[in-house]
Structure 1
Amino acid sequence: MQVPQDGEDFVGQPWYHGPLSRQKAEDLLQQDGDFLVRASKSRGGHPVISCRWRGSALHFEVLRVALRPRPGRPTALFQLEDERFPSLPALVRSYVIGQRPLSQATGAVASRPVPRQGLIRRSFSEDTLPDDPARTEPLRDRKRSDSQPAGLEHMWRSPEDPPGPGASTVPASGLPRTGSDPVILKTPVPLGSVADSLRASDGQLHAKAPTKPPRTPSLLLPDASGRPPTYCELVPRVLRVQGPPPGHNCPESEVPWWEAEEEKEEDRCFARPQAEVSFCLPDTPSCLLGSQNRPLEPEVLHTLRGLFLEHHPGSTALHLLLVDCQATGVLGVTKAQRGAMGVASGLELLTLPHGHRLRLELLERLETLALAGALAVLGCAGPLEERAAALRGLVELAVALRPGAVGDLPGLAAVMGALLMPQVSRLERTWRHLRRSHTEAALAFEQELKPLMRSLNEGAGPSDPGEVALPHVAPAARLLEGEELPGPLDESCERLLRTLHRARQTARDAPRFREAVARRLRGFRPNPELTEALTTGFLRRLLWGSRGAGAPWATRLEKFHRVLSVLSQRLEPDP
């Protein structure tokens, strides 16, 4: 059996709407359980399941895991949470027919597909290819089935040829397909009839005998002469990759800054740095916050919740790795910055005396991310299941960040800091519900993540650049800023030596860490809104407002811990 290629097995499904904006998708979802699948422009054309649940429109990104081409197996797998499927229709059927929640955090169940009206002009798989005139020209109607040479006059006529008598005038879509099966173009089925023909007992989510999209011919008929076509004149068509049309800028073709090659510097004498370097992004207009925002605006928190629920923990982990690498000075370091700090990487700078500002920025970022993670749990004023689902989401994100996966140890430390924060760890009923309803996540937290974090904080744990993309630098930063180590003197001395040795090793391996990060981020196309939501400047304004963000760090930290303590007591008061 021939395995269908990507994009060939779902563009004909009634629930697939092709490129569609989030707003237009939400307008089509009327009742709880309504769903559709669209190609998200902000996610580079990746499929997203849009579903209405409990009066809100939710969006869930479907991860596409590319496989090495081999005969008899698909070229990609599709994944929503844990399970992977060989095709997108298989994933949709499993979740809809089995009435499985699209995510454990929301409990949203997709039950009624919203059929599209008309044919899709472009498919998800096409959006990754440059426009080809030979591929996008309107296709002619074909006869039902004709194997005689005379029947070729109705097939794939050149645009200059006038249509013959009785030729169809129904517009056809330009979706590329391969194969030799004839295709019968039909008038689009009305919306009501498509919805009535959907039955769960059929074991599939499309109407009976759905219309196949037309196929691009694998053979091209030359039009050099006016003679009737014959078999000997059939020549293979070779698809040509052409650039964008004149005057059209294609942002996807540009190399992202994190994939750009590092500038090579000529050998020069060392010059003592004259100023400290900061890798904090300058304040720019936010697409999520107003120019003068208040702390913890409910509308922004609701938007952020939907944004994080839309992304798989693995995707969120890659976004966090990208932002952490920029904040640490591993990627995106300019030649002027390297000249100012005297070294090539922020991993080297933070071990030097003039890395004081960088160390403070990294420690503030760690604490700010931990506070935001704790707020995600303590801000759930709904049922107990909602808080337990938020805990599970943080645990899954920590698992995705651990060594051997994304390997972002600063991000892992921030998420674990939120889970281990006293205001969160005291929620006994919530943790008990997590152990009962999400046993696998609870076991991963207790048996894997907590021992790992304890080892990293003591200057031990994994540190190889092949297993780790970004090392845990908080212990060295605290030590170099004069923080005393807890515990008995003999244990603190051993921990001091381990931390200093790890810091020297990190500085020496800075180029290898940069290579490890570049490998993980190769081909990654982030969501701009999610990327902004993970920056230190955005989180600072979100938690303390545009006016309070300028207060001293110690004052801001103390006030927000009091806020979290009040929220924790409201959720589970002391006996």
Structure 2
Amino acid sequence: MAFIEANSEQHKRELSAELSLDSSDIRSHAWYHGSIPRIRAEELVAKNEQFLVRDCTSRPGDYVLTCRWNNHCLHFVINKVILQPYTVYERIQYTFEDDSFDTVPDLVTFYVGNRRPISVASGAIISRPINRTMPLSFYAAKYCIPQNDYPSLNRDSMITKSPPISLNKYQSALLSERPLSRLSINSQQEEPPPKPKRDSLIKVPLSDKTEPIYINCNGNDYDMNERENLNENIDLHSIKTANDDQQSDENFCPIDSSLFRTIPIHIASLLHSSSNIDPQNYFTFLLAKDNKPLEMSAVNKVRSLLLETGARILANHITKVDLDFIKHFDKEANFGLGIKSGLELVLLPHGGAYRDDILDRAECFKYFVAASLLICNDDERVLILDKWIQTAIEIKTGLGNLMAFRNIMAALALPQISRLQKLWLSLRQRFTSNAVVYESKLRPTLKAVIDCNEPLAPNTTFPYILTMVEIIQKHYKFVDETNAEMNEEEIAEKYQSFKFDFPWETSSSDFGLNLFFSHLEAGRQIVNQCNLFKRNSEIVLDGVVFEELLSDIFTTEFHRRFLWGYRGCIAAASERFSKFEQVLTLLSAKCESNSSSV
């Protein structure tokens, strides 16, 4: 009881020290809650106009304003604008849409004091701050957040400003909210858990000077889908220090206790064990809560946005969403085993869910482009077709995004689109130059990209990886489906009958082997150039202002809700795609009949 009271007094002192900092320091404002989870933030803002500011988990270093408006919980990323970059006068300003401010507190004060809507689209107004009652270090420990940004504000640290000892997410999880005796070196009185199987251990080399860590990933020590609650699921009985007298006892996993404070622990199977696409919990002002497929109100909004927005702006938003999808901008992203980018994860066995997400995004984007052409009248259709061609040009030449380029071109090459002869004739008559570029340059470029004959441009931000992802995913799924009880002859027979089902397997004399290995070699080169792609991304999108609604229409969550509705968006990918092919065929036939009648 005395410990609790002492701890409470310490929290009060730390909170008081934080709130007494200079007003330009965001920590001096009680409405700043640090890195609390998104779900917790939504619980706190229970009434309209209530708000708080928290750290952006997907973009470290950025902030998110969470508020409630019209009984909806909204999250607005506070944009950073760099003025006079790469000079001695470089400085950062913070903005939502128009007005910019030197500090986040200045921005919040302006919007609260003037009752200015956060964005024109939402009309959200903030006036009632939700203040924290504990220091930032308390929330960091509670939610297992790295504490680099939240030093303990005791008197000594405020004077010397010495850096705090930081724990990463998993170290904090192992140490927080657990009795110290669970990590005791002498655990002879406890009954050990069952011996883990050898193939269930992940061996993670941490550095040249330390021993590897072994973590049991085969039992029920933790729920792989509950990353945020890791501290409640890891059973520390299965962890034993390397200095234990009974170190040779294989019932325990050896781990050096000093590593808890110095080296990150990578648990690869936790980091992407399921899809990150969650359409039913996705919110946008463009869709009703339980919308139906191709709902007319959403169709009209999408059509207006495409017609009224310039091709380069569309290309910027598409590329930004694509790069966020593969964690291109997240400098602290960690997919396990030291993997820092989704472009690397797609090559690894534990990246299966990530590969499925990439394949799903590519198909959904293709169908979204096709649907945008088939759900409007003839006059608008040729305008939107021309806009997509312009966007493909900008994406390929200006932004180096080969994945989005492929998705747009694949949509325009669908039989439901290419069969509309009057549409393409109208394009040649009204937009002759773009029609010529499409036929003479874009289509040959797409074929060269797919055939690995197109060298990577110096400004590439997102290389073409779709074929490589399909090859790897089909291989791993085939391996997973192979019955472990089969004998060698049965396995060999099954391998002989296995096909990737790519067109070049039957159309080339070598059954596509050269092309197959070309894609694998391209994948190796892509991994080696991840840093270059990231740098290119920062350069081409530097200073670009992004609009929320435009970004929304290019997310995979929006595509699935828009095309299949609230209920159908969670169906299996094969079922969704086969049914939408039928929908596109019906829409195409309707467009063709309408053109004929005219």
Place the TM-score, normalised by the shorter chain, in its bin.
0.5 to 0.7
Corresponding letter in the other structure for 2:363 = E
User: 1:329: how far off?
Assistant: 2.5
Distance 1:265 1:432, change over 3 A: farther
* Distance in 1 between residues matched to 2:511 and 2:445, nearest whole Å: 19
Q: Which residue of 1 aligns with 2:366?
A: 370
User: 1:386: how far off?
Assistant: 2.7
* Distance in 2 between residues matched to 1:365 and 1:249, nearest whole Å: 36
Q: Which residue of 1 aligns with 2:459?
A: 467
Distance 1:129 1:454, change over 3 A: same
CA-to-partner distance for each residue in 1:165-208, whole Å, 9 max, x for gaps? xxxxxxxxxxxxxxxxxxxxxxxxxxxxxxxxxxxxxxxxxxxx
Q: For 1:141-540, what aligned pairs fall within 5 Å after superposition?
A: 244=106, 247-248=109-110, 268-269=206-207, 273-275=268-270, 277=272, 278-280=275-277, 283-332=281-330, 334-335=332-333, 338=334, 340=336, 342-380=338-376, 382-383=377-378, 385-402=379-396, 404-464=397-457, 466-482=458-474, 483-486=500-503, 487-490=507-510, 492-540=512-560
User: 1:299: how far off?
Assistant: 0.8
* Distance in 1 between residues matched to 2:370 and 2:332, nearest whole Å: 34
User: 1:130: how far off?
Assistant: 5.3
Question: Contact conserved, 1:408 with 1:471, CA < 8 A, in 2?
Answer: yes
Corresponding letter in the other structure for 1:552 = A
CA-to-partner distance for each residue in 1:448-471, whole Å, 9 max, x for gaps? 11011001111231324x321111
Question: Contact conserved, 2:271 with 2:335, CA < 8 A, in 1?
Answer: no
Q: Which residue of 1 aligns with 2:218?
A: none
User: 1:530: how far off?
Assistant: 1.0
CA-to-partner distance for each residue in 1:319-338, whole Å, 9 max, x for gaps? 00111011122223654xx1
Distance 1:514 1:392, change over 3 A: same
Secondary structure at the counterpart of residue 332 of structure 1: coil
Secondary structure at the counterpart of residue 336 of structure 2: helix
* Distance in 2 between residues matched to 1:245 and 1:429, nearest whole Å: 52
Distance 1:342 1:67, change over 3 A: closer
Distance 1:489 1:322, change over 3 A: same
* Consecutive unaligned residues in structure 1, runs of 5 or more: 1-65, 69-125, 132-240, 253-262
CA-to-partner distance for each residue in 1:97-153, whole Å, 9 max, x for gaps? xxxxxxxxxxxxxxxxxxxxxxxxxxxxx965659xxxxxxxxxxxxxxxxxxxxxx
Distance 1:535 1:129, change over 3 A: closer
* Consecutive unaligned residues in structure 2, runs of 5 or more: 1-82, 86-96, 113-117, 120-148, 150-165, 169-204, 213-265, 475-499
TM-score, normalisation: structure 2: 0.51
* Distance in 2 between residues matched to 1:407 and 1:265, nearest whole Å: 38
Mean Cα deviation higher: 269-278 or 527-536: 269-278
Corresponding letter in the other structure for 1:467 = N
CA-to-partner distance for each residue in 1:268-319, whole Å, 9 max, x for gaps? 3475622351554673332211211111110111011112222211011010
CA-to-partner distance for each residue in 1:76-99, whole Å, 9 max, x for gaps? xxxxxxxxxxxxxxxxxxxxxxxx
Question: Contact conserved, 2:552 with 2:558, CA < 8 A, in 1?
Answer: yes
* Distance in 1 between residues matched to 2:108 and 2:413, nearest whole Å: 55
User: 1:571: how far off?
Assistant: 1.7
Question: Contact conserved, 2:318 with 2:554, CA < 8 A, in 1?
Answer: yes
Distance 1:284 1:427, change over 3 A: closer
Distance 1:243 1:265, change over 3 A: closer
Distance 1:272 1:285, change over 3 A: closer
* Distance in 1 between residues matched to 2:566 and 2:555, nearest whole Å: 15
Corresponding letter in the other structure for 2:288 = G
User: 1:417: how far off?
Assistant: 1.1
Distance 1:333 1:532, change over 3 A: farther
Secondary structure at the counterpart of residue 270 of structure 2: coil
* Distance in 2 between residues matched to 1:248 and 1:508, nearest whole Å: 46
User: 1:346: how far off?
Assistant: 0.4
Q: Which residue of 1 aligns with 2:249?
A: none
* Distance in 2 between residues matched to 1:432 and 1:440, nearest whole Å: 13
Distance 1:129 1:362, change over 3 A: closer
* Distance in 2 between residues matched to 1:315 and 1:275, nearest whole Å: 37
Secondary structure at the counterpart of residue 497 of structure 1: helix
Corresponding letter in the other structure for 2:270 = A
Distance 1:363 1:346, change over 3 A: same
Distance 1:332 1:310, change over 3 A: farther
Question: Contact conserved, 1:459 with 1:475, CA < 8 A, in 2?
Answer: no
* Distance in 2 between residues matched to 1:564 and 1:551, nearest whole Å: 18
* Distance in 2 between residues matched to 1:390 and 1:537, nearest whole Å: 22
Secondary structure at the counterpart of residue 244 of structure 1: helix
CA-to-partner distance for each residue in 1:364-385, whole Å, 9 max, x for gaps? 11111111111111112x23x3
User: 1:387: how far off?
Assistant: 2.1
TM-score, normalisation: structure 1: 0.53
Q: Which residue of 2 aligns with 1:260?
A: none
Distance 1:316 1:513, change over 3 A: same
User: 1:557: how far off?
Assistant: 0.4
* Distance in 2 between residues matched to 1:128 and 1:484, nearest whole Å: 54
More helix by share: 2
* CA RMSD between the two structures: 3.3
User: 1:514: how far off?
Assistant: 0.8
User: 1:359: how far off?
Assistant: 1.1
* Distance in 2 between residues matched to 1:245 and 1:349, nearest whole Å: 38
* Distance in 1 between residues matched to 2:410 and 2:101, nearest whole Å: 45
* Distance in 2 between residues matched to 1:242 and 1:433, nearest whole Å: 51
Question: Contact conserved, 2:373 with 2:385, CA < 8 A, in 1?
Answer: yes
Question: Contact conserved, 1:462 with 1:468, CA < 8 A, in 2?
Answer: no
Distance 1:536 1:333, change over 3 A: farther
Q: Which residue of 1 aligns with 2:575?
A: 555
Calculate percent identity across the aligned residue pairs: 27
User: 1:562: how far off?
Assistant: 0.4
* Distance in 2 between residues matched to 1:279 and 1:334, nearest whole Å: 18
* Distance in 2 between residues matched to 1:322 and 1:529, nearest whole Å: 13
User: 1:512: how far off?
Assistant: 1.1
